[in-house]
Amino acid sequence: MDAAWNAGVNAGFEDAETDRASQASSVIELRGLTKKYGDFTAVDGLDLSIRQGEIFGLLGPNGAGKTTTILMMLGLTEPTAGSSTVCGLDSTRQPMQVKRRVGYMPDDIGFYEDRSGLDNLVYTARLNGVPEKEARERAQQLLEKVGLAEAARKKTGAYSRGMRQRLGLADVLIKRPDVIILDEPTLGIDPEGVRELLVLIREMSRNEGLTVLLSSHHLHQVQQICDRVGLFVKGRLIASGDLDTLSRELDGGPTHLVELDVAGWSSALEETLLSVEGVLSVSRSEADALAGREADALAGREADGHGAPNAAATVRVASSVDLTAQLAAAVVTSGAALRGLRRTRYGLDDIYHRYFEGGDSHGRTH
């Protein structure tokens, strides 16, 4: 019966390969997934579908139920209700098949510390039924890919945090999975390490058509590489989609943000900006201490030169449509000096933050 199934599937293999990029079929399909621990509901009726070749970011604060969801996808925990289908396989009923196709990197990944990185990888490969010789070859290749070739024979106990995460990525990839699930892959690595790791993940996903699900609470890191994100709070997926959708879905709030560095800020100017059609809010930001000081220094020189005592300000103007040009014009015509203009989109951090600002009334406990 296995052979018959394989034959049937193999017939469509060629087409599938070419269609992969265009075809948007879901690889991970969650329907009403629920997990309760006694009275506590960790995951509450989760519906989610993730397409082939997509990088999906599962975002949420600690304890939102991200890890529990992942464990249910892998069949390591049984859901209280609902179903989870990965690569067309039921995670609860066929966990072995699912685990063959899915590479999972737990948060805070652990290795056998008195074995070398190479040995750890070979062991994982052999658990997946790869013969010793091939396992060794694959491990070497992957170690090179993640930049650990020199450290291959070093014991993993001596690895740094960033090296461990990269080894973790190699460990996930050695079974040649269709889907990789990364739980907090960027936890505890320095910014440069995070950047490298994310680039690596993105490259692998693009080159090999891998579907990637990564969970994180570091929003700005994740937004760099994710095609879509899902915001996960208290066991519920409150929004999902790309950034714009997410922002709209959440509260219909502004999606565009323009930062203006203005020397000669006055409340009249604020009025002018507010009167520009489509502007939702204008606020002076004290965001970056470093940038602020620089701006002040500039303003100081300005003041000496022109005798105008007004300090420079960085103003953030939020709007629902792109108003960059109009705003610049408004500032210039009002007579103030426009020192800088940055068009930014609302980042995940803002969306997240905004949600939780409003979220207090929904009874958030912490």
Partner 1 sequence: MGGLIERLRLPASLRRGADSPGVSGGRPGAPGTQARGAAERERRPAGSGSAFWVMVQKEFGDHIRSWRFLILLALVTLACIGSIYSSITALKDAQEAATGSGSEIDTSFLFLKMFTISDGSLPNFLTFLSFLAPLIGIAIGFDSINSERNKGTLSRVMSQPVYRDDFLNAKFVAGLLLIAVVVFSLGFLVMGMGLLTIGYPPTPEEFWRVVIALVITTVYVGLWLNLSLLFSVRFKQAATSALSGIAVWIFFLVFYGMIVSLISNATTPDAAAGADAYINQQNWMMLLQRLSPAYLFQEAASTLLLPDVRTLNPFVTQDQAYLAIDAPLSFGQSLLLVWPQVVAIVAETALSFAASYVAFMRQEIRSRS
Please report, as ranges, the residues that interact with partner 1 according to CB under 8 A.
1-2, 4-6, 8-10, 12-13, 15-17, 19-20, 23-27, 51-52, 67, 71, 74, 76-77, 87-89, 93-97, 99-104, 106-114, 123-124, 126-130, 171, 175-176, 178, 183
Cα–Cα distances in angstroms (integers) from residue 170 to residues 95, 118, 165, 239, 295, in the given order: 22, 10, 9, 31, 45
Query: Which residue is listed with tokens 């106990």?
Result: 157
Residue 50 or 269: which CB sits closer to partner 1?
A: 50
Give the list of residues 6+ apart from residue 244 with CB closer than 8 angstroms, or none.
255, 345
The Cα–Cα gap between 327 and 260 comes to 9
Closest distance of CB 240 from partner 1, Å? 20
Shortest spacing between CB 232 and partner 1, in angstroms: 17
Beta carbon nearer to partner 1, 62 or 333: 62
Q: Which is nearer to partner 1, 156 or 240 (CB)?
A: 156
Least CB distance from residue 214 to partner 1, whole Å?
15
**Is the CB of 21 or the CB of 325 nearer to partner 1?**
21
CB 229 within 8 A of CB 56: yes
Q: Is 262 exposed, middle or buried (0-12, 13-18, 19+ CB in 10 A)?
A: buried
Query: Cβ of residue 74: shortest distance to partner 1, in angstroms?
Result: 6
Nearest residue (CB) to partner 1, 175 versus 339: 175
Q: How far is the CB of 219 from partner 1 (least distance, A)?
A: 22
Rounded distance between C-alpha atoms, residue 263 and residue 167, angstroms: 50
d(CA 321, CA 346): 12
Nearer to partner 1, 89 or 262 (CB): 89
What is the smallest separation between the CB atom of 62 and partner 1, expressed in angstroms? 13
Q: Which lies closer to partner 1 via its Cβ, residue 26 or residue 245?
A: 26
- Residue 55: how many CB atoms within 10 A of its CB? 23
The conformation of residue 265, written as its DSSP 8-state character, comes to -
How many other β-carbons are positioned within 10 Å of the β-carbon of residue 266?
A: 14
Q: How far is the CB of 77 from partner 1 (least distance, A)?
A: 6
Comparison of 124 and 223: residue with beta carbon closer to partner 1: 124
**Residue that has been written with the tokens 């609902």 in this structure:** 82
Least distance between partner 1 and beta carbon 360 (Å): 29
User: Based on the number of CB atoms within 10 Å of its own CB, is 298 exposed (0-12), middle (13-18) or buried (19 or more)?
Assistant: middle
Nearest residue to 260 via CA among 332, 202, 316: 316
Measured CA to CA, the distance from residue 282 to residue 284 in angstroms comes to 7
